[in-house]
Amino acid sequence: MCKINRTFCVVALIFSIGASISSAAMVTLNALNDSVGGYITANDGAGDAITSDGFYLAQFNVTFTPTAGSPTTFNTFCVDLFHNSSDGQQYAVNPRSDLATAFANGSQIAEIYDTYGTTDLTSNPDQAAAVQIAIWDLSLNNHNPTSFGVDGDGSYSSGDESVFSITLGTNPDAGTIAGLVNTYLQGAVGATAQGDWLDAAAAGTGLDRGQSLLIPPTVTGISVPEPSTVTLLLAAAGGLIARRRRA
């Protein structure tokens, strides 16, 4: 989930109305749990695009520190492709409970993460890579991926190569990883799962601000505003949405 130079990479998305506006908590990126790599081409249809950028397709370990209460450490994946952050970086985040509506495929993201991505996958890097690929593919709001396979040029995609595709180089497990992505995407069709996440928009709009992350359903003690509260806060703030566009 980070660039080959060991910079964590994440994406600017169109964040839906419903964002929490509150005193930001903090998250610290502790470590990657593995180091499977790949090269991704993606276009969100809203001004952000990358071409054959190198990424680690990894689960990583983070510590969340709330505005009040004790820190919590857990394993997670990111829902971004177009922002950067570095090992050990600490940055502001807002806990949110609207994953299912903040992303067009938010319920599918929650289903895959909750089922396959919350336990420590250090000893299962292929599964970690597949979970991250599936989540990144689903995070792009301009398509609805439901399957995954090899393309004519040797890359892998869900059929919309202009939206998201990945090459896995000479990795001998490329076919296994792609097969797992296909299984996860197909299994998530029709999902109704809800989900919580940490919105890194609280850290600003700069390229290196940090990344938005998923919160495991097993983690408790993270204060997430109820949707009604968020709506009221948004109304008071004029419904501002933070996002970054690339030239």
Q: How many domains does the chain have?
A: 1
Tokens of 197: 């996440």
In this structure, is residue 242 part of a structural domain? no
Residue 15 reports pLDDT greater than 50: no
Task: Give the Cα separation of 171 and 154 in Å (integer).
Answer: 12
Report the pLDDT averaged over residues 90-100: 96
In this structure, is residue 18 part of a structural domain? yes
The three-state (H, E, C) secondary structure of 196-223, written as one string: EEEEHHHHCCCCCCCCCEEECCCCCCCC
- The pLDDT-based confidence of 86 (bands split at 50, 70, 90) is confident
**What confidence score (pLDDT) does residue 110 get?**
98
In this structure, is residue 241 part of a structural domain? no
In this structure, is residue 108 part of a structural domain? yes
In the beta sheet, which residues pair with residue 197? 96, 214
In this structure, is residue 87 part of a structural domain? yes
Characterize the bridge pairing of strands 60-65 and 164-167: unpaired
DSSP 40: E
Q: What's the predicted TM-score (pTM) here?
A: 0.83
Residue 242 reports pLDDT greater than 60: no
Contact 226, 188 (CB under 8 A): no
Instruction: Write the pLDDT tens digit of every residue in 133-167.
Output: 999 999 999 999 999 999 999 999 999 999 999 99
Coil, helix or strand for 231? helix
CB half-sphere exposure, 74, CA atoms < 13 A:
25
Rounded to the nearest angstrom, the gap between the alpha carbon of residue 152 and the centroid of all alpha carbons in its chain is: 27
In this structure, is residue 245 part of a structural domain? no
- The pLDDT-based confidence of 10 (bands split at 50, 70, 90) is very low
**What confidence score (pLDDT) does residue 42 get?**
97
Instruction: Write the pLDDT tens digit of every residue in 98-132.
Output: 999 999 999 999 999 999 999 999 999 999 999 99
73 phi/psi in degrees, rounded to 5: -110, 135
Range of the domain at 199: 2-236
Residue 2 reports pLDDT greater than 50: yes
Instruction: Write the pLDDT tens digit of every residue in 193-216.
Output: 999 999 999 999 998 999 999 999
In this structure, is residue 246 part of a structural domain? no
Residue with tokens 């919309």: 160
In this structure, is residue 247 part of a structural domain? no
Instruction: Write the pLDDT tens digit of every residue in 20-78.
Output: 334 579 999 999 999 999 999 999 999 999 999 999 999 989 999 999 889 999 999 99
Task: Determine the residue type at 169.
Answer: G
Report the pLDDT averaged over residues 217-234: 60
Structural element, H or E, at residue 26: strand 25-32
**What confidence score (pLDDT) does residue 24 get?**
73
Structural element, H or E, at residue 92: strand 90-96
Task: Give the Cα separation of 16 and 99 in Å (integer).
Answer: 9
